Structure 1
Amino acid sequence: MKPLSDTYVEETRLGFWFLRSHTWQHHVLRVAINDLRSLFSDPLPSAPVILDAGCGQGKSFQYLHKTFAPKRLIGLDADPLSLQLSGEEAKHQGIDIELIGSDCAELDIPDASVDILFCHQTFHHLVQQDRALAEFHRVLKPGGYLLFAESTEAYIDTWVIRWLFRHPMHVQKSAEQYLEMIRDQGFEFEARNVSYPYLWWSRSKDFGLLERLGLLKPKPVGQREETLVNVVARKPQQGTKP
């Protein structure tokens, strides 16, 4: 099936398989959503409209539904096969879902219509990152939340990941650069709304093997090059950029 974006970077067969695996669903998606939930400073929105931007094969739907109890859940992806599998996943889970085939840089969604925008491990696949972030800001309601969870250049630009998966390498960024992008787009967040998970699968060299064997002591935040960054950022209540 032809992608719905001219800038779409097609995943490898291994990558496509991994995105439907138990490891991805249980040890990556579930963990990320639980962590993002913990980063909220205020009570969760009641019965929110949620957009999963880059929903892939829909493995996030059950966790988003359980955690946030949305009145409306929208899944968006530029890969038609992934959208088809998302529909099947939603049906299997008994979850109502609206699916949209679109590039994140051009969302066919009205202004200020979304309460929570979930973007998990999607941004490092996007070529037009600035445009996508501007679209995220546009479709969120004033006071709405961007839930952003991303792998950084320190992880994506390792020989293992470059060999097994496919990404647009010229747009990869550090954790600090991603956070700066989000702030520059007009989103607000504080240090307590940010985390730097250091999970085994994200370790850039040995997947944490030496640490699990007790042969290497893990470095604390501030003394290591971060491989993951999670942030809950909010669109200002007035709905305008600073």
Structure 2
Amino acid sequence: MNDAQPQYLSASYVEETRFGFWFLRSHTWQHHVLRVAINDLRRLFDKEPPANPVLLDAGCGQGKSFQYLRQVFAPRRLIGLDADPHSLRLSSEEAARQGLQVELIGSDCATLDVADASVDLLFCHQTFHHLVEQEKALAEFYRVLKPGGYLLFAESTEAYIDTWVIRWLFRHPMHVQKSAAQYLEMIRRQGFEFTPRNVSYPYLWWSRAKDFGLLERFGLRRPKPFGQREETLVNVVACKPLHEGAAG
């Protein structure tokens, strides 16, 4: 990142650390985080996702998701949106490297510069816990999705974000962090529909709250089963109802 003070497009933007900015373009991030999350979200659909969709990546960062979104969802129109102009420049370079046509928008997620009911799929991966105005952002996600469109939401929870390692290496607005149950309740309260079939709680090595799963990887500790652990990740595919009256 440049030494000059960046001009972010959100008054509440929380600037990432230098390590965090570097990590978001690493092979580990791309292969073990982005790729895995997108494949898991695809699995959570009850039926085939919309063909040739308009797909919005809300909080696209440096554009490392673009290649995986193309492979899995084959969008006819791919839009990347971020509040950091420097990240958008890197996204443009990434799209060019991948030979992709991507529309890039500089915008705050709480005030999306996107038309009403214009998006089939909205991908929000590891972005929401960076947002201060979460309720406004979720309302904007709902607004820009077409009736019958889908929110693809993948997040780390407070149990993971509020650990000494993550707080040391990265920077987040700690007062807005939530549990998996709280994120799901927020999404449902906005008016999105989903069932337990559309939700997963990945228990990946890198998401262990205390040691990044190193003890388990070396066979020194058995992983806790579902129901006996505090979830550190939650993924959900949530649908905007076809009839607006269903919204809360």
Give the TM-score range, shorter chain.
over 0.9
Aligned to 1:154: 159
1:83 pairs with 2:88: yes
What's the offset of the Cα at 1:217? 1.4
1:39 pairs with 2:41: no
Aligned to 2:3: none
1:118 pairs with 2:123: yes
* Residue of 145, 157, 171 corresponding to 1:140: 145
Aligned to 2:168: 163
- The C-alpha deviation readout for 1:140-180, integer Å capped at 9, x for no partner, is 00000000000000000000000111000000000000000
**1:171 & 1:116 partners in 2: Cα distance?**
25
Partner-residue secondary structure (3-state), 1:105: helix
Output the TM-score relative to the length of structure 1.
0.99
1:60 pairs with 2:65: yes
What's the offset of the Cα at 1:111? 0.6
Q: Which amino acid aligns with 1:75?
A: G
Aligned to 1:235: 240
* Residue of 113, 134, 139 corresponding to 1:108: 113
Aligned to 1:94: 99
1:12 pairs with 2:17: yes
Kindly, what percent of the aligned residue pairs are identical?
79
Q: Which amino acid aligns with 2:156?
A: S
Cα RMSD over matched residues?
Answer: 0.7
8 Å CA contact retained: 1:32, 1:149 = yes
Aligned to 2:182: 177
Q: Which amino acid aligns with 2:172?
A: H
8 Å CA contact retained: 1:5, 1:103 = yes
1:128 pairs with 2:94: no
What's the offset of the Cα at 1:213? 2.0
Unaligned runs of 5+ in 2: 1-5
Aligned to 1:222: 227
Unaligned runs of 5+ in 1: none
**1:213 & 1:46 partners in 2: Cα distance?**
43
Equivalenced residue count is 242
8 Å CA contact retained: 1:141, 1:239 = no
